[in-house]
Amino acid sequence: MLNIENTSSEKLQEKITAMREGGKILGNLLRDLKNYVKPGMTGKEIDAWVRQEIVKRGAGVAYDMLDEEFPGAICISVNDELVHGAPKDEPLEVGDKVSFDLDIYYKGYFTDSAFTMLVGGEGSPAVKKMISVTESAMWEGIEQVKPGATIGTIGAAVEKVLRQGHLGVIENYVGHGIGKEMHEAPEVPNYGKKGHGYKLVEGDTICIEPMSCLGKPANHIEGDGDDWTVKMNDGSIGCHCEHTILVTNDGYEVLTLAD
């Protein structure tokens, strides 16, 4: 007789092992990307390097697996672009804000992570503060993760930090579950009410990904042949950061950290 409990346990362990390994590949790749980016590089040049590195490190290019074709291996969102930026030919300049969002596929499972930086390490103090506050909001959300914690509790923690930092809170793009599919249930908003929503269980894997802006949070897809890049309506600067998180028996594990 098939032991359903053991089979389920084996599948969960397979998932955790694969996502730990894939997450480490992704974390190390993004660390190296941050050091690789220099003024004068174009989005398409960076995208080509990322594609090469994904394959060289033994993973798959997740964005090649989308039903709707994405024109790149990584999302690159510059200045007033918030998320899902299609890599472009324009060279990056010192002080540009750029967000990198990358999924990879490894041993049947996806992992996902993002960060925002200033090109050349220089730029507006307001943008520097926005990046710092958004990263803090992400970590505050992560700190809430444990079995029994709700999605609303995570969102409330993220939102509190963003609003205290006087940032616009993006509500129409959210975090998500992840595993066999790039986007799975539950949705993980960057706002919410403590104690509300789905309760996490051990073995869940979710992406917590705050998105913020310096102006009003209204945004739109660029259009004119680019059906991916999301831009801020008022031209303000947008920010995005993200990690893939495993719910453990007593808390959490961040799967997409670098060594």
Distance CA 213, CA 167 (A): 6
Choose between 56 and 223: higher pLDDT. 56
Residue 96 pLDDT > 80: yes
Number of domains in the chain: 1
- In 96-246, which residue ranges form alpha helices assigned H by DSSP? 125-143, 151-164
Q: What is the mean pLDDT of residues 210-219?
A: 98
Which structure tokens are listed for 55?
């394959």
Q: Is residue 71 part of a domain?
A: yes
Sign, CA dihedral 247-257-43-90, equals positive
Average pLDDT over the chain, rounded to an integer: 96
166-207 tens-digit pLDDT: 999 999 999 999 999 999 999 999 999 999 999 999 999 999
Tell me, what CATH number does 177's domain have?
Answer: 3.90.230.10
In the structure, what pLDDT confidence band is assigned to residue 2 with cuts at 50, 70 and 90?
very low
Q: Is residue 99 part of a domain?
A: yes
Q: Is residue 259 part of a domain?
A: no
Range of the domain at 147: 4-254
Residue 46 pLDDT > 50: yes
Q: What is the mean pLDDT of residues 203-220?
A: 98
Residue 132 pLDDT > 90: yes
Neighbours of 212 (CB within 10 A): 28
Quote the pLDDT of residue 224.
84
Quote the pLDDT of residue 4.
36
Which structure tokens are listed for 229?
């890049």
Q: Is residue 164 part of a domain?
A: yes
Q: Is residue 16 part of a domain?
A: yes
Q: What is the mean pLDDT of residues 51-61?
A: 98
Q: Is residue 178 part of a domain?
A: yes
